[in-house]
Amino acid sequence: MTFLLTGAAMSKSVDFLFTPFRIGTLALKNRIVMAPMTRSFSPGNVPGDDVAAYYRRRAEGGVGLILSEGVHPNTTTADGTPNVPEIVTPAAKEGWRKVAAGVKAAGGVMGLQIWHEGPYRNPAKSPHPDIPSWSASGLKVPEKPPLWAPMTEAEIETAIEEFVAAAVATKEAGFDCAEFHGAHSYLIDSFFWDMTNRRGDKWGGGWEGRTRMAAEIIRRTRRKVGAAFPLLIRISQWKQQDFAARAAATPQEFEKWLAPLVDAGIDAVHCSQRRFWEPAFEGSDLNVAGWAKKLTGKPTISVGSVGLSGEFTATYGGEVSKPASLDRLVEMMERGDFDLIAVGRALLQDPQWAEKIRTGRTNELKEFSKDALGVLY
């Protein structure tokens, strides 16, 4: 791996990144979050000792909040990516219990992300290729015909209860919080986006209907886990089908999207975008997380090409990303735009990234290439 001496030169102090923060009752020692990243190192859908050691190294490296890779809430309709872990089976739950215990022993804080692949599940790679994938209206790509029948009321009810059960299992396994993956065109997001939600019943139509599934998941989970267990949700304007998509065209629409989630009991909003510095709406330089904080008053997490020169989709095309300055990030956080920053690829390949930033060892930061995706550093 090449060490870069100049690309990450910074003129601003990074001290603010290492100030404490709280999500409800959950105390974090700093504002750096390890972003959820699919790793596919769990044969039989059970995380092993290598996965536990991988997360523990990030705790030892000083990350404030570790969010797990996406974890499936069932063994049938959610799973279309080999070796992605589950949480609901006894073996998987025990595997995650060891992960959580290892992170806690290293002084870390960790949450588990619950991820249903929805229309992006590949049935051919699933243990159950005969079972259709789930999507609000059976759509994967808006401009093309449906691939499956729209979800039935019974299927929606099943999906909600499976998310709830997975969140309860997350708490029982010893994690500090749970995050629902409601971004990137996966199941929950297929309900949020009007281009993939064409339903005419209570689960579709305007924002009240399109947020109903997520709100029900949050509300029912809150009743099960209690008030003190933080619940997060990840959302995104952009979609896998369309990087330029805006699920909410205006701040007013965005407020209608977020309000039902807040009313249901969400504690923090994790706003995914490809480049954290890009404004969400015209007339303001606030990014998506900035607007979410302004509109809800809830803690927000931003993410997107942090500490690297290229964004993540270019990685798959072979582009090598070099370390980049954090000056713009620090500026946005110091003025209060958002509260926490999720770091993906830089932490994927270097468990000591946060500590290197804290201690000014930027000459030790590394370039990132797609080869890193095949290793549990």
| Tokens representing residue 44 in the block | 């039989």
Give the β-pairing of 21-23 and 26-28. Answer: antiparallel
Give the contacts of 230 (CB within 8 A, at least 6 positions apart). Answer: 23, 24, 25, 26, 111, 176, 177, 178, 267, 268
Residue 191, Ramachandran bin (φ over 0: left; ψ between -120 and 50: alpha; else beta): alpha
Q: Which residue has the tokens 């808006």?
A: 142
Which one, of 177, 209, 178, lies nearest residue 193 by Cα?
209
Coil vs helix vs strand at 15: helix
User: Among the options 54, 55, 120, 186, which is catalytic?
Assistant: 186
186 assigned to active site: yes
| Tokens representing residue 135 in the block | 């999507």
Give the contacts of 55 (CB within 8 A, at least 6 positions apart). Answer: 66, 68, 99, 102, 103, 108, 110
**Would you list the DSSP string of 82-150?**
TT--BSSSHHHHHHHHHHHHHHHHTT--EEEEE---GGG--GGGSS-TTSPPP-SSS-SSTTS--SSPP
CA separation for the pair 239, 224 (Å, rounded): 31
CA separation for the pair 64, 72 (Å, rounded): 24
Catalytic positions are: 186
